[in-house]
Amino acid sequence: MNDLRQRIDDRTARVAVIGLGYVGLPLGFALAKAGYRVIGVDRDPVRVSQVANGVCPIGSTEPGLDSLAACLVLEGWLHPTVDPAALQEAQVVLVCVETPVDAVTKQPNYSALRDALQAVGVQMRPGSLVIIESTLAPLTMMRVVEPALRAASGLVAGQDYHLAHCPERVSPGHLLANLREVPRVIGGWTLECGELAATLYRQISSADLHLTDCLTAEVTKCAENAYRDVNIAFANEVALLCEDLGADAWQVRRLVNTCPGRDMLEPGPGVGGACIPKDPWLLIAHPRQYFVFAGGLVREARRLNDAMPAHVLELLRDALAEAGRSLAGSDVVILGRSYREGIGDVRNSPSAALQDLLTGTGARAWAHDPYLSCLDADWRQAVKGADAVVLMVAHEEYRAIDLAELRALLRTPVLVDGRGIFDPEVARRAGLIYRGVGRP
């Protein structure tokens, strides 16, 4: 291990990153910028071609990525390829592939992970370091990762090579900053494995590195996203209750948070992104005795948050009825197609779910989003002549909308506010029929 530690310290170790998406690409760039020669492996030839030409394929709202792609790739610090045989050159391999859940069973789908492990195992040499950054259900390192690597390589983790799990902690819009500044949890197969992985991460991170075992790292990553999901679900349940009672959930939230130790989150039209909709399912994928003493809080939070787009649809149906229209035949504009404000990431966007629901009612629905080049026309042009506008994402551009101007552009004056960014009284004075999540 001392030889590899020295090679990591002096940046002569050859590093490979498998998966050039939101996790792997910025990680590869960070390592290349730190002075490592990096091999980037991805099975998507289009993505590899883009990276090879110095083009960042994951959107234009990531500070610093475009410039790094242009210099680090073209100067040879990061070499992208579709050929897994390139892994034979690497002493350090980081696996950053997707780990989705099945849409029906909610069980982990590890097909991409297994393919990556097979490729690593076939090429791996004794003394190598393998780090899994992909989010994993608890017990996956023990049940899937180590057995797959052993079967493909004949090597034993902790004896013949070094194995660790350092689950990613990056958020779209802040990928490079997160790599530098967010503390990391490193689960080592052995303490020695974890310490060697920490040696690598210290080259690219100024934040704290917390060493633990693999299982604890697995649970920690899944639990931190389940925690947020449950808290969003609580805010949404309070919002639904307030609508029913005639109270304003946004005022309730503000007052709740005046009490020390309280930090109630904002309600909204659903939860999106690559992590929060799936990581709670990963957390409870292997429950053992979990449901003997737990009431399924994680499951209920997922159910409630997934149901919010349908609730927004009902708010819209009610507002259109007040205007004398039905959903069928109405023209509806969805403001915001990404899953949250300030970015163009559309993965698991609640807006997509709402658009599908609207289509099923016979409505004509389309989206606008200033962060997506295919949908970034002026918002005025997008809403002109529509029967309703549904605000799903709190982009700054939408916060600046003049409601009187909006009213003048619409054929039918209906506004549904899923993010609580508009004042209901101001909207009504502007002549709009207003509905909002959590509003009386």
381-397: pLDDT as tens digits: 999 999 999 999 999 99
The dihedral sign for the CA sequence 262, 263, 268, 271:
negative
Tell me if 321 is assigned to some domain.
yes
Same domain, 138 and 283: no
- Give the rounded distance of the alpha carbon of 58 from its chain centre: 13
Mean pLDDT confidence for 110-125: 97
Same domain, 367 and 223: yes
Mean pLDDT confidence for 259-277: 97
Based on C-alpha coordinates, what's the Rg of the chain? Answer: 24
Same domain, 189 and 223: no
Summarised one tens digit per residue, pLDDT across range 79-94 is 999 999 999 999 999 9
Q: Does the global pTM surpass 0.75?
A: yes
CB count within 10 Å of CB 357 equals 18
Report yes or no: 363 and 388 within 8 Å, Cβ to Cβ: no
What was the pLDDT predicted at 290?
A: 62
Contacts of 52 (CB under 8 A, 6+ apart): 73, 80
Residue 412: both structure tokens together: 């039918």
Tell me if 249 is assigned to some domain.
yes
Same domain, 111 and 238: no
What was the pLDDT predicted at 70?
A: 87
Residue 187: both structure tokens together: 């689960």
Total tally of structural domains belonging to the chain? 2
Same domain, 101 and 158: yes
What was the pLDDT predicted at 286?
A: 83
Tell me if 380 is assigned to some domain.
yes
What was the pLDDT predicted at 243?
A: 97
What was the pLDDT predicted at 296?
A: 87
CA atoms within 13 Å, Cβ hemisphere of 398: 30
Residue 251: both structure tokens together: 């005022």
What was the pLDDT predicted at 31?
A: 98
CATH number reported for the structural domain that contains residue 233 in this entry: 3.40.50.720
Give the residue numbers spanning the domain of 281.
Answer: 217-440
Q: Of 178, 207, 236, which closes a domain? A: 207
The DSSP 8-state label assigned to residue 265 in this structure reads: P
- The residue annotated as part of the active site, out of 221, 222, 242, 278, is 221
Same domain, 196 and 222: no
Tell me if 212 is assigned to some domain.
no
Summarised one tens digit per residue, pLDDT across range 218-258 is 999 999 999 999 999 999 999 999 999 999 999 999 999 99
What was the pLDDT predicted at 63?
A: 85
Tell me if 178 is assigned to some domain.
yes
Residue 201: both structure tokens together: 């991460």
What was the pLDDT predicted at 74?
A: 87
Summarised one tens digit per residue, pLDDT across range 275-332 is 999 999 999 998 766 665 565 899 999 999 999 999 999 999 999 999 999 999 999 9
Same domain, 257 and 373: yes
Same domain, 163 and 221: no
Task: State the first-to-last Cα distance of the chain, in angstroms, to the nearest integer.
Answer: 63
Q: Of 207, 227, 243, which closes a domain? A: 207
Same domain, 280 and 132: no
What was the pLDDT predicted at 239?
A: 98
- The residue annotated as part of the active site, out of 166, 214, 242, 275, is 275
Q: Of 186, 207, 228, which closes a domain? A: 207
What was the pLDDT predicted at 288?
A: 66
Distance, CA of 69 to CA of 25 (rounded, Å): 9
Same domain, 166 and 311: no
Tell me if 381 is assigned to some domain.
yes
Same domain, 263 and 386: yes
Tell me if 125 is assigned to some domain.
yes
Average pLDDT, the chain: 95
Report yes or no: 127 and 1 within 8 Å, Cβ to Cβ: yes
Q: Is 221 a catalytic residue?
A: yes
Which stretches does DSSP call E strand in 222-346? 331-335
Amino acid at 299: R
Same domain, 170 and 299: no
Residue 184: both structure tokens together: 């990391």
Question: Does 11 have pLDDT greater than 70?
Answer: yes
Tell me if 297 is assigned to some domain.
yes
Summarised one tens digit per residue, pLDDT across range 409-431 is 999 999 999 999 999 999 999 99
Report yes or no: 422 and 434 within 8 Å, Cβ to Cβ: yes
Reported confidence tier of residue 377, pLDDT bands at 50, 70, 90: confident
